[in-house]
Chains A and B, each alone.
Chain A
Amino acid sequence: MSGVVVGGWGFVWAAYGITAAVLLIYGVSLITRLREERARAAAEGEPR
């Protein structure tokens, strides 16, 4: 490789941003899914 890679901050922000977004969305979806499962279990009278 010759020379220095100049700039590229757009890619850096995209990488960090997408990573953060994906992790956040997945975490939230997990908590939501867990709440749903607990609600369903409670509704059917299962021992929680």
Chain B
Amino acid sequence: MTEVSTSKTPYVFLTLGVICLLVGSYVGLFIAPREEYMGDVQRIMYVHVPTAWNWMLAVIFAFGCAIAFLFKSDFKWDARMEAGVEVSVLFALLLCIQGSLWAKPTWGVWWDWDPRLTSVAVLLFASLGILALRKFVEDPLKRAIWSAVATIIASVDLPIVYFSVKWWNSLHQQQSSPQTVSSAFHLPLRVNAFGILFLMIAFIMLRTRVAAMRLRYETSAPPLVAEGELA
């Protein structure tokens, strides 16, 4: 396997990401006007919506890597997929927390079975299952193939889950879930979106390196004599 990259690019993305998030959050928290009906609580959307966009990207990325691995059998795709799945778990967790913090003051309940958020929760559990699968399979090739298969199956399921929950929910709730941001102020949204995007890119790059190094370790033959242990 080729050398694992040591470029500084991810750190550049980390820095850019943090800067964007600081700027976007500042604008969203202090400068953007208070929303008409939702009040200040709507400011959560300035970080919730960007997280949601990037979560979707992470899921699609993991899906793409899974397919790439099944076709190319190159372990770098397995490393990338592992990174993608883990980052999507991270963002899904954040989405559920942010969504609950928005829902409580808005609807009075922590969870309102919104189809989008519910789909995130389902895929969160599916992704945790994939990570668990990876933990329990020792053979790198089997682990790669199986988790790729599981990732593909889970990703294909996402739209189906979304529509089924939407129908399921529509029978009971007539509310139109106003989780969109009022059109007046898009700036913090966009800036935060880039912020989280840059962070995500950095996370995936770094996490891929970790996975790649571990794979190298697993697939390399053990040294005949350990360093400094000559008989």
Contact = CB atoms under 8 A, between A and B. Distances in A.
Given A5-B41, A34-B209, A11 B220 contact: no
A41 B217 contact: yes
B44 A12 contact: yes
A13 to B, nearest CB: 9
B39 A31 contact: no
B139 interface: no
Contacts of B210: 30, 33-34, 37
A22 B93 contact: yes
Given A11-B41, A12-B40, A19 B94 contact: yes
B3 A37 contact: no
A20 B51 CA distance: 12
Which range holds the interface residue count of chain A? 20 to 34
Contact of B47 (A16, A34, A40): A16
Contact of B227 (A1, A20, A45): A45
Which range holds the interface residue count of chain B? 35 or more
Interface in B15-41: 21, 25, 29, 36-41
A38 B226 CA distance: 17
A15 B40 CA distance: 12
Interface of B: 3, 6, 14, 21, 25, 29, 36-41, 43-44, 47-48, 51, 90, 93-94, 97-98, 101-102, 104-106, 175, 178, 199, 202-203, 206-207, 209-210, 213-214, 216-217, 220, 223, 226-227
Interface of A: 1, 4-9, 11-12, 14-16, 18-20, 22-23, 26-27, 30-31, 33-34, 37-38, 40-41, 43-48
30 contacts: A4-B36, A5-B37, A5-B38, A5-B40, A7-B39, A7-B40, A8-B39, A8-B41, A12-B44, A14-B101, A15-B102, A16-B44, A18-B97, A19-B51, A20-B21, A22-B93, A22-B94, A22-B97, A23-B199, A26-B203, A27-B202, A34-B209, A37-B210, A37-B213, A37-B217, A41-B213, A41-B217, A45-B227, A47-B3, A48-B6
